Structure 1
């Protein structure tokens, strides 16, 4: 059985879109998945697929639909397999950077080259980014909070959700610890 991580977008930020992790675990288990574990309060849930044959899009839709039924609001969910997460970690184009200073944006679709080019023209000190497949890597040595590049990339990557490299590494580790 395949291990996956579901990454919820924009929850538990500033008291908005609150989702308790215990409720998230229960919801994912109710969909037939096993070995369910959550990590930190930002909407990371690792599970063993209980619906063989379901592709990533089907898993995303099922979790989004269930969240909407349970919570009354639509929350975007991006799913990546354990192997996809491990490949994203291995492909990190900023291997010497501090893991909390590297953000991986997992995207549903690749942004238009023109949008990325415009973002790349923003003067933002030593900040830099690379797009590899459907993962955008952003390195902000001075932090994400005041990065003009991070702000410029927020629109072209709006259909995704981001986690720092340390969190993605932890999700891979949790996926390796199946029940």
Structure 2
């Protein structure tokens, strides 16, 4: 049995309000086990025997669109993949001069196109570092004062990204760990 974390894009933002009980029920109806949500921002933890991230993601996205009436990009990570991301997010957050630390999650690595897009988006305020399917964003100001625009990044890459704060990533990694 695999433990997955689904990071859903644009849940409970921009008028796309979804109750966590309703979200949990969609995952239960898909036959997933030990379904749990974290915060009200589209984080769902669940167990499944499925081994294909692509197949699981396709099932989730299709079911969510049917249930909610709008498209929801679903970024998946296996439980073991989150611990190193959480450790790096914590380190980022503890750097001197950093006010906000976030991790952007992609379904697939953006590769060279991602690096090109980041060259344009980096600034003295926003340190952006791409590592595989994660984008680490350290901001020297409040996010609301930053010029970084995830929408521009998505348009440049033609792929969705969903961001979580460093604390949320750490909490998700802890919740995803198998019980002792």
Tell me the equivalent position of 1:73.
70
Could you tell which deviates more after superposition, 28-37 or 118-127? Answer: 118-127
Deviation at 1:138, TM superposition (A): 0.7
Tell me the equivalent position of 1:155.
155
Whole-angstrom distance in 2 between the partners of 1:110 and 1:141 = 26
Distance 1:123 1:166, change over 3 A: closer
Is 1:23 aligned with 2:28? no
Whether the 8 Å contact between 2:9 and 2:73 is mirrored in structure 1 is yes
Instruction: Give 1:1-179 correspondences, 5 Å limit.
Output: 1-14=1-14, 16-49=15-48, 52-92=49-89, 94=92, 96-97=94-95, 101-111=100-110, 113=112, 116-122=115-121, 124-151=123-150, 153-156=153-156, 158-176=159-177
Deviation at 1:118, TM superposition (A): 4.8
Structure 1 runs of 4+ aligned residues shifted over 6 Å read none
Total equivalences in the alignment: 176
Whether the 8 Å contact between 1:7 and 1:79 is mirrored in structure 2 is yes
Whole-angstrom distance in 2 between the partners of 1:26 and 1:100 = 36
Whether the 8 Å contact between 1:11 and 1:17 is mirrored in structure 2 is yes
TM-score, normalised relative to structure 2: 0.84
Name structure 1 gaps, 5 residues minimum: none
Distance 1:31 1:147, change over 3 A: same
Whether the 8 Å contact between 1:120 and 1:149 is mirrored in structure 2 is no
RMSD: 2.6
Distance 1:76 1:41, change over 3 A: same
Q: What do the CA deviations read for 1:134-167 (whole angstroms, capped 9, x no partner)?
A: 1111111212222123455453464221111111
TM-score, normalised relative to structure 1: 0.84
Q: What do the CA deviations read for 1:19-77 (whole angstroms, capped 9, x no partner)?
A: 1110011111111111111111111111111xx23311111111111111212222111
Whether the 8 Å contact between 2:114 and 2:130 is mirrored in structure 1 is no
Whole-angstrom distance in 2 between the partners of 1:44 and 1:77 = 10
Deviation at 1:94, TM superposition (A): 2.3
